[in-house]
Amino acid sequence: MATDALVPLESNPEVMNKFLQKLGVPPDWSIVDVMSLDPEMLSWIPQPVISVILLFPISASYEEHKKKEEVEVLSKGQKISSNIFYMKQYLSNACGTVALVHSVANNCDKIQLSEGPLKKFLEEARPLDASTRGTLFTKTEGIINAHKELAQEGQTNTPSPEDLINHHFIVFVHKDGALYELDGNKAFPINHGPTTPESLLEDAAKVCKEFMGRDPNEVRFTVMALAALD
């Protein structure tokens, strides 16, 4: 059975790619580091990019912005595609895996998933609402066990599930002409406006810069992309 807290995945492309492949993602799709958000540097990232993952420190400014953003969206409303796959996060330290699941789930038209726990989970989860999907995820032992196994790998000392972790993964994807931020700790997906498959990386980078701008004295940000490899 799943526990209420996991050891977090490291923000390490090698670890994440092992995890994805264990869950049935073919090796021609790979997590790569985004070393700079400068447009010229972004041009070096392999294309197509189908998701952008941001790891950032949870701070007072993040929590304040999250509350303000939720109030604003509830007041003004936003358009959310019925095709977006979003789930809530109910397991502590599972945000890395939730971000990877969001990345794959919203790109199953491009990724040829092999049979396995992730494909089975997505088939069962698609008809459900975000909360029920999150609950189902906590009971999907194939994914949870893969997370536990890969969380022991990486270059840093492995924390315990009880350790206080103040970093959080979210993901940006394109769906039906819009850029969506998928954060399992938020009340709903956030529509950041128009984008295209070709401009996803650049448009997501702009939102990543906004996160950084809200914590100008913080340097612990990591950006990665799920991209096609030749």
pLDDT digits (tens, 9 = 90+) for 31-53: 999 999 999 999 999 999 999 99
Alpha-carbon separation of residue 72 from 68, 69, 89, 195 (angstroms): 6, 5, 22, 21
- The burial class, CB within 10 Å (0-12 / 13-18 / 19+), for 28 is exposed
Q: Count CB neighbours of 61 within 10 A.
A: 15
- CATH for the stretch 13-228: 3.40.532.10
Q: Would you please indicate which residues are annotated as catalytic (active-site) residues?
A: 95, 168
Split at pLDDT 50, 70, 90, the class of 221 is very high
The Cα 103–Cα 78 span in angstroms is 21
* Structure confidence by residue, pLDDT tens digits, 96-130: 999 999 999 999 999 999 999 999 999 999 999 99
- pLDDT grade for 4, boundaries at 50, 70 and 90: low
Domain spans of the chain? 13-228
E strands along the chain, which residues? 29-33, 49-57, 167-175, 178-182, 190-194, 222-228
Distance CA 58, CA 215 (A): 10
CA separation for the pair 121, 127 (Å, rounded):
11
Task: For Cα atoms 106, 16, 120, give the angle at the middle one, nearest 5 degrees.
Answer: 45
For 62-108, strand residue ranges (E) read none
